[in-house]
Amino acid sequence: MIIYSQGKIPTTAMNKIVENKSLSFIEQAKVLEKQNKIDEAILFYQKAVELEPKQPFWIYKRLGDLLRQNARLVDSIAACQKAIELKPDNGNLYYSLGASYRKLGDEQKAFINYQKAVELNPEQPFWVYKELGDFFLQEDKLEEAISAYQKVLELNSDNSARLYLNMGEAFSKQKQWEKAINVYQKALSIDPYLGERIHFSIRHAQLQQGQIIKASISYQNAIKRRYLINHKYKIVYCPIPKNACSLIKTTIVEHSHDRDRYKKSNQDIHSYTYINDKGVSLNDISYLNNPEYFKFVVLRNPFNRLVSAYIEKIARRKNPVLFVKDVIKDVYKFSGLEPDIEKSITFSQFIHYLARTEDIYLNQHWRPQYTFLGEGLFKFDFIGQFEKLDSVISCLEQKFHLNIETSTTKHITDYCVFDDHETFHDKYPAYLRSLDGFPKAHHFYTSELEELVRKKYAEDIRIYEKEFNTTLSIL
């Protein structure tokens, strides 16, 4: 036994003690990992590197992965960067760093690190190529996107419908219509519930090829995915988002034979009707020409509908949903700027995005209303006016002896009165949320924005003015 005088331990011996303690912490961390005690495992890995920073690179990688799993993303990034510092030629380290940036929301840095990971080691998990494909698609680097998606298919045969949907979009943008149709149909075979969107995409490709009859059939298939039917009261309803859609969908379902099934599902009305095996799904297009069934739709002033969609889906939400993030990214990319999801976009930027984007790529909440209306395949028995919703509800109640509960809708916007000269077209969502209430529609428009909407939504405006014998003017 060696005894050191005056309590002093030689440096070499101290280093040995530190090394042994560090190894002990690492072994304990591994045991805790196997027990799925992630917090404790992180703590022991951290103790190990605090005690002895000169650890192998894989210790820092493992720490980074666990921190990411625990949503401690800034710390995870620091650990992954340390691992790369120690082993800069290891592709898997860049993949871990990219995953942490991805989870943090910094897609550009995630993209850069995924590319580096693939460059150093092409044998990456399939989802890395999926992420790269999505990034390339957003950047309109279509060949690269398709190549990445094809690599996903090589690595993983069990793929999601959205992979094929995005791949179809890439082919469509390249005007490779037949290839686009083939992958869209593959998406449909995997997930029939994406039917409406996919059928519209197939229809678009068929129209580009002059396949009018096939395009008409695809449109009918899209309608079957959207329209609701109530066999009890013999009603067919065409839901258009932002046009009292939640209220009327709920009414259709709660007064149908599906009522109990809907209540037991604990789903919101949109999730419930999205799954197209319900008794309220149209499924059979022949009902649209059955005179015993009452077909109706509600139309809205296009100018007001866009403001409502902007407020509900963009302005009032600090954490936007995925399809809104895509819009925000497109706006910043078009301006040559890095996306700022938190800052989001103004109403003016939103309208300019709509004006330059084809209808086929627009989300249903701001897609033109005429695209929902059946292209003359049948005639509606009743077209209601959203701005006179009380009359619409009264008409339905009287005709079918219903009691429509108007409190079922959740999309009610709190508006506030402002001076007529005040405009908010260039204000960002954080400012709008700070107000006592949101401004009404006319406060968001300038003459330029009104003209853009008149051009983009000309058919909606024409139909609305004709149906309700009015002339639309927002300013």
Give the model's confidence band at 271: pLDDT under 50 very low, under 70 low, under 90 confident, else very high.
confident
Per-residue pLDDT averaged across 412-432, rounded? 89
Q: What is the pTM for the complete model shown?
A: 0.82
pLDDT for 408: 56
Per-residue pLDDT averaged across 316-336, rounded? 93
In 181-207, which positions are buried (b, 16+ CB within 10 angstroms) versus exposed (e)? bbbbebbbeeeeebbbbbbbbbbbbbb
pLDDT for 414: 77
Spatial strand order of the sheet with 235-238 comes to 228-230, 235-238, 294-299, 382-385
Q: How far is the C-alpha of 190 from the C-alpha of 148, rounded, in Å? A: 20
**Does residue 403 register a pLDDT over 90?**
no
pLDDT tens, 54-86? 889 998 999 999 999 989 999 999 999 999 999
pLDDT tens, 202-213? 999 999 999 999
Contact (Cβ atoms closer than 8 angstroms) between residue 165 and residue 198: yes
> What Å distances lie between residue 265 and 281, 334, 354, 410, 463, CA to CA?
16, 42, 36, 18, 38
Cβ-based neighbours of 164, under 8 Å, separated by 6 or more: 183, 184, 186, 187, 190
The pLDDT mean for the chain works out to: 89
pLDDT for 283: 87
Contact (Cβ atoms closer than 8 angstroms) between residue 70 and residue 95: no
pLDDT tens, 465-475? 999 999 998 86
pLDDT tens, 11-41? 443 344 344 455 688 888 888 888 888 898 8
pLDDT for 66: 94
Three-state SS sequence of 411-428 = CCCCECCCCCCCCCCCCC
Per-residue pLDDT averaged across 452-460, rounded? 98
Per-residue pLDDT averaged across 44-53, rounded? 86
Helix (H, G, I), strand (E, B) or coil at 1: coil
pLDDT tens, 80-110? 999 999 999 999 999 999 999 988 888 889 9
Query: Which is it for the CA torsion 346, 348, 353, 359, positive or negative?
Result: positive
**Does residue 329 register a pLDDT over 50?**
yes
Nearest to 247 by CA among 277, 222, 224, 270: 270
pLDDT for 409: 54
Which range scores top for mean pLDDT: 6-10, 47-51, 412-416, 442-446? 442-446
Options 3.90.650.10, 3.20.20.80, 3.40.50.300, 1.25.40.10; CATH for 125-226 is: 1.25.40.10
pLDDT for 4: 28
Question: Could you tell me which residues are beta bridge partners of residue 235?
Answer: 230, 294
pLDDT for 475: 63
pLDDT for 404: 86
Cβ count near 113 (within 10 Å): 25
Question: Could you tell me which residues are beta bridge partners of residue 237?
Answer: 228, 296
> What Å distances lie between residue 48 and 30, 53, 243, CA to CA?
12, 8, 59
How many percent of the chain have pLDDT more than 70?
92
Per-residue pLDDT averaged across 154-159, rounded? 78
pLDDT tens, 212-249? 999 999 999 999 889 999 999 999 999 999 999 999 99
Residue ranges, comma separated, of all CATH 1.25.40.10 domains in the chain are: 125-226
**Does residue 347 register a pLDDT over 90?**
yes
What is the residue type of 151?
K
Contact (Cβ atoms closer than 8 angstroms) between residue 164 and residue 183: yes
Helix (H, G, I), strand (E, B) or coil at 473: coil
